[in-house]
Structure 1
């Protein structure tokens, strides 16, 4: 099974994505998100082995983010079975904000997890062919909607 995935996280690279070509590139991506511009700390990943719902419309989305200020991150996954987000401990921030290519995304309360779990989640996602990672504690992303 291939591990290639489309990657969007930089300003100006939303229409034309970058690519993750192997699991070996995950650590470099996370490190780049940690050290890059604060307005580019969230990435959208689409696994290329999964089917399209219609031309150019994927059947899933994985979001990963890291925030160097708190040394934590977030993972969200959406597919036909629903939308889930990482379940952080009660001590993590309420409504943290992450940025995908300069566009802010406010998240629900207590969703931040250790960065090592974010790294492992992306590796698992790539190896599994785009399945929801099992190493992440999940909760519903939009429980009221």
Structure 2
């Protein structure tokens, strides 16, 4: 059985995160982000299958962004280092997604088709919080 993934993407999730327990839940999350405005199109995910650090915080994070106008999205996976989704053919000069009004800038070649974002988040859920292997990754110069 798959362990749930906690999702934070709205203010009310601070004390009560949304739980993703199935691939259908992932689709609902992505659809919600796609329909959201630019100040709420990013989510922070943590698998409950992975251990907590001694201070009680998750040892990993998957950021998931979805842009409904472009039908593109971004991913950033953090555990021992930060890796960001990569598409060498993409390249908007400014790539920015926001979680609860707080903006995060991503490298210019980080947006990928939304179908790959869905696939990667489902892989994260079903693998117990491991870094998805279905997309290309890059180590960003800044973060």
Q: Distance in 2 between matches of 1:92 and 1:3?
A: 35
Q: Does 1:114 align with 2:95?
A: no
* Residue in structure 2 matched with residue 70 of structure 1 by the alignment: 70
Q: Is the 8 A contact 1:8 1:17 kept in 2?
A: yes
SS in 1 for 2:78: strand
The CA RMSD over aligned residues, in Å, is 1.6
User: Which range moves more in the overlay, 58-67 or 83-92?
Assistant: 83-92
* Residue in structure 2 matched with residue 85 of structure 1 by the alignment: 84
SS in 1 for 2:13: coil
Q: Is the 8 A contact 1:121 1:133 kept in 2?
A: yes
> What is the 5 A alignment of 1:11-30?
11-30=11-30
Q: CA deviation at 1:20?
A: 0.9
> What is the 5 A alignment of 1:28-67?
28-67=28-67
Q: Distance in 2 between matches of 1:114 and 1:33?
A: 14
Q: CA deviation at 1:12?
A: 3.6
Q: Distance in 2 between matches of 1:16 and 1:45?
A: 13
* Residue in structure 2 matched with residue 102 of structure 1 by the alignment: 101
SS in 2 for 1:38: coil
Q: CA deviation at 1:9?
A: 0.5
Q: Distance in 1 between matches of 2:23 and 2:55?
A: 26
Cα distance, 1:89–1:13 mapped onto 2, change above 3 Å: same
SS in 2 for 1:122: helix
Q: Is the 8 A contact 1:3 1:22 kept in 2?
A: no
Unaligned 5+ segments in structure 2 are none
